[in-house]
Structure 1
Amino acid sequence: MYELKQAEPADAAVRRWLAVVVLGIATFTIVATEFAPIGLLSSIASDLERSPATIGLTVTAYALIGAGSALLSAVLPNHFPRKPLLIGLMLVLAASNGLAMIAQTFPTLMLARIVGALSHGVFWAMVAAIATQIAPPNRMGLATTIVFGGISIANVLGVPVLNLIGQAWGWRVAFGALGGLCLFTALLMGALLPKVKAEGTVGFAALAGVLRSRKLWRVYAVAIFTVAAHFAAFTFIEPYLRSVPGVAPAAIAALLFGFGAAGLLGNIVTGFLIDRFMKRVIFVSLLLMCVSLAGLGWFGLSLGLGLVVPLLIVWGAAISILFIGIQTWVLRVGGAAAIPASAVYTTAFNSSSGVGAVLGAIILNRAGLSGIMTWAGLIVAVAIFIVVLDRRLDKTS
C-alpha cells in the first residue's frame, strides 16, 4: 500500500487516484457481465432454442452463486498478494465471457456463467476495501464513490450498449466484447495498481468476529431492507411505467435512462459529502427513497407523468447514494476486518436482491403494481428506523 506522507509528490497522488479509477472500470466490467443476458435475452433464447424464462436463470444463478462466493474473500490467506489475485479474477471473468460467446448449448452457457459468478463474488467483496487502502485514509468515502460509480455507469450504458451490439452483430459478439473488456481491464490493473499489502484480518476467526458484531449487523439490516425494497420495486418498473397515464411505450427507455442518469448524479454528489456527513447522507437518502416509492404507489398511476418523472429521478439518485453510503459504513465499522465485513455485506446484498424480486412478485399478485411501490416504501421505513436506533445506541454507549 502507498504510505501517506506530509507532502506527497503530485505524480504519486495522481497514480493513487488512477489506480482507484481502474478499480471503478473493473466494477463497471463485472456489473455489465452480471446483467449482460438481460439485454440479450430474446436472441440467446432463440439461438439456443430455450424459453426466455430459462435463459433468465443465467442471471438468477449468477447472483446467488456470487453471493456465496463472496465469503471466500473473507477466509483467503492474509499473505496472498492482492494485486495478482484481482488480476487473476478478472482473467477468469474474461474466460467466462469467452466460453459464453462460443456456447452452443444452454448447459455450456450456464457453466460459463457459474465460472464468472465464482470470480465475481470474490472480486466484488474485495474491491472497495482495496480501493480504500490505495486512497488517503481520510478519503475512504470518495474512493468508494469512484469504485461504485462503475455500477451507475453500467446501469446507464452497459446493458443498453450490449443490447445494441447484440442487435447489430449478435449476442455472441456482445459476450466477446465483454471478454475483451475484461482483458483490457486486467492489463490496466497490471500497469496501474500498486502492490497492495494484505492488511487487516481475514480467516475464519475474523469472519466469526464480524458475524458476532452487533453494530455491523445493524448496518447489514439497513442494507437488507434497502436492497430488498429496491429490487422488489425495480424488478417491475417496466410494467409499472407502461401503466402510467400518458406514457408511450417508446418513452419507457428514456425514463429508465433518466433513472440511471440520476444515479450517476447521485454518485457525484456522494463523492463530495460522504466522508464528512456519512450518517446524515444515508438518513436523508433513505427518507427520499421512502417518500418517492410511497408517492409512486399512492399517486403515480392516477396523477401521471408529471409526478412520476421527479419521483423516479429522486429514487434513482437516492438508491445510488445508498449503495455507496452503506458500503462506506460497512468499511468504517469493519475497521481491520474490512474485507470479511465487506464479504458478508456482499452476500447480504446479493441475497436481498433475489429475495426482493420474489417479494415483489408476491405483492404484485396480491396488490398490483401500485402495491409493490407502496410496500417497498414501507420496507425502506424499517431501514430508516434502524438508522435512527443506531444513532441513539451510539450516543448512549
Structure 2
Amino acid sequence: MLPVGLLTSIGGELHASDGTAGLAVTVPGVVAAVSAPLTTVLSGRLDRRWLLVSLPALLAVANLLSAVAPSIAVLVALRVLVGVAIGGVWAIAAGLAVRLVPKVSVGRATSLIFSGIALASVLGVPAGTLIGQLFGWRAAFAAAGTATLLVTGALALLLPPLPVDRAVRFTDVPALLRGRRLRLGLVVVLLLVTGHFAAYTYVQPALERLWGVGHGLVSPLLLGYGVAGVVGNFVGGAGSARNPRGVLVVICTVLGAVVLTMSFGGVRTGVAVVLLAVWGLAYGGVSVSTQSWLMVTAPHAKEAVSALFVTVFNTAMSLGALAGGRAVDVFSLAGAMRLGGLLVLAALVAVVLTGSLRPDSTSVAGESAMVEDRVPDDRIGGLARCAERE
C-alpha cells in the first residue's frame, strides 16, 4: 500500500498521470492474486519457514531497488516482485497459528496474524506519506526495504521449522469453489475491497482537490485514519469471533456512507478529519472479519481457503485501483469516490442475501481426514510434536 500516499510525488517526478502512477498499486495486487495459490501448491512439502524467510527477502530487494527507479515502467516492473512476495507470505501465514501455539490459544493467535494484515493496510499509507513529505518518495521505499530486511533477519532467527505433512494439490483450491457458501463469501470480499480501493487509492488527491486540505495536513489526516484503523481492527476482530456477519453488515454500511459523502467535497477540514477517521475505523476490521467468515466454510482446508481469499482480496485491490484510476482520468476524483461507495453498498446487499456461513458439505476437506501438525518449539511453549485430527 506504500504508493497510495505518494502517487502525486511519484507521478510528478516520473512524468506520469495519477491513473498511471496508480499501477504501482494495481500491478502487485494482480501478481499477488496469482502467486498466492501458485506458491501454496508449487511449494509442495517444502518447510514453510524457508518460504517465510526468502519471500520477505525478495520484498526487501524490490523496495530498495524501487527507491532508485528511473522511470514509472521500472517502478511498476519492480512492483511485480512485491506482488510475488506478498501473495506467497499472506497465503501461508494466514493459517499458521494452529501450528505455532497450543490449541487453546489458536483463536487469539489467528486474530493477531490477521491484525498484521489489517495494520499494514491502514498504517502503511500514512507512514509512507509522512516519510515522503519529509524526505521524498524514494526515501519511503528505502525505509520500507530496510525495515523488511530487519524483519527477514528476525524470521530467520526466531521461526521454528514448519514442515508440511500434506501438500496442497492443484485440485484442492478449485474444488473448494464447488461450495456455494464459500463462493458467495468471496463475492462479498470482491465487492467490498474493490469499492474501498477504487476510492482509497486516490484519497490523497481527493483530500487536496475536493476538500481543499493543504498538502502539509494530508499526512496527519492519514495518520489519524491509520490510528482509527488500528482500533477498528481489534474491535472488528473481537466482534468477528462472535458474529462475523453482523460485523460485516456494520462495516459495509458505514464504509459505503462515508465514501459517498467524501465524493461531494466541502470546505470544512474538520469534517474531512471526522469522515477519514470513521473510514479507517470501518475498514480496519475488513481483513479479520472477512477471512474469519470464510474460514467457517472449510475449517479443515485453511491454507487452500487462505490462498483463495488472498487471490480474491488482491484481485479486488487491483480492480479497485484500476477502476478508480480510470474513473479519475475519464470522469473526476468525485467519480472514483462514488464508484467506490456504490460497490461497497453492493457488498452490503450481498452480505444480507448470503446469510450466515456454515461449513460447505461439498468442501474438499469437509469430509477428509486431513491432519494439521503443531510445531514443537521451546521458544513458543511447544511440548512435543503431535498431530491433531480436526
Q: TM-score scaled to structure 2, two decimals?
A: 0.77
Q: Is the contact made by 1:73 and 1:340 (CA closer than 8 Å) also made in structure 2? A: no
The match for 2:33 among 55, 67, 72 is 67
The CA deviation string for residues 161-182 of structure 1, in whole angstroms up to 9 with x for no partner, is 2553437xxx2x6544433322
Q: Give 1:334-373 correspondences, 5 Å limit.
A: 334-364=298-328, 368-373=332-337
**Higher helix fraction: Structure 1 or Structure 2?**
1
Q: Which residue is equivalent to 2:136?
A: 166
Q: Give 1:117-136 correspondences, 5 Å limit.
A: 117-131=83-97, 133-135=99-101, 136=105
Is the alpha carbon distance of 1:373 and 1:203 closer, same or farther for their aligned partners in structure 2, counting shifts above 3 Å?
same
Q: Which residue is equivalent to 1:259?
A: 225
| Cα deviation, residue 318, structure 1 | 0.7
One-letter code aligned to 1:285: I
Is the alpha carbon distance of 1:35 and 1:80 closer, same or farther for their aligned partners in structure 2, counting shifts above 3 Å?
farther
Tell me the percent identity. 28
Q: Which residue is equivalent to 1:10?
A: none
One-letter code aligned to 2:204: E
Q: Which residue is equivalent to 2:276?
A: 312
Distance 2:251 2:10 in 1: 33
Q: Is the contact made by 2:28 and 2:80 (CA closer than 8 Å) also made in structure 1? A: yes
One-letter code aligned to 2:348: I
Is the alpha carbon distance of 1:221 and 1:199 closer, same or farther for their aligned partners in structure 2, counting shifts above 3 Å?
farther
SS in 2 for 1:86: helix
Further displaced range: 222-231 or 177-186: 177-186
The CA deviation string for residues 124-159 of structure 1, in whole angstroms up to 9 with x for no partner, is 222222245434233255224432223323233244
Q: Give 1:137-148 correspondences, 5 Å limit.
A: 137-139=106-108, 141-148=110-117
Further displaced range: 156-165 or 225-234: 156-165
The match for 2:125 among 155, 160, 165 is 155
Further displaced range: 320-329 or 150-159: 150-159
SS in 2 for 1:339: helix
SS in 2 for 1:204: coil
Q: Which residue is equivalent to 1:95?
A: 61
Q: Give 1:272-283 correspondences, 5 Å limit.
A: 272-283=238-249
SS in 1 for 2:160: coil
Q: Which residue is equivalent to 2:373?
A: none
SS in 1 for 2:299: helix
Q: Is the contact made by 1:259 and 1:316 (CA closer than 8 Å) also made in structure 2? A: yes
Q: Which residue is equivalent to 1:86?
A: 52
The match for 2:195 among 206, 209, 229 is 229
Q: Which residue is equivalent to 2:149?
A: 183
Distance 2:5 2:205 in 1: 20
Q: How many residues are treated as equivalent by the alignment? A: 355
Q: Is the contact made by 1:222 and 1:386 (CA closer than 8 Å) also made in structure 2? A: yes
Q: Which residue is equivalent to 2:290?
A: 326
| Cα deviation, residue 343, structure 1 | 1.7
One-letter code aligned to 1:315: W
Is the alpha carbon distance of 1:59 and 1:130 closer, same or farther for their aligned partners in structure 2, counting shifts above 3 Å?
same
Q: Which residue is equivalent to 2:182?
A: 216
Unaligned runs of 5+ in 1: 1-30
Aligned-residue Cα RMSD (Å) equals: 3.4
One-letter code aligned to 1:60: T
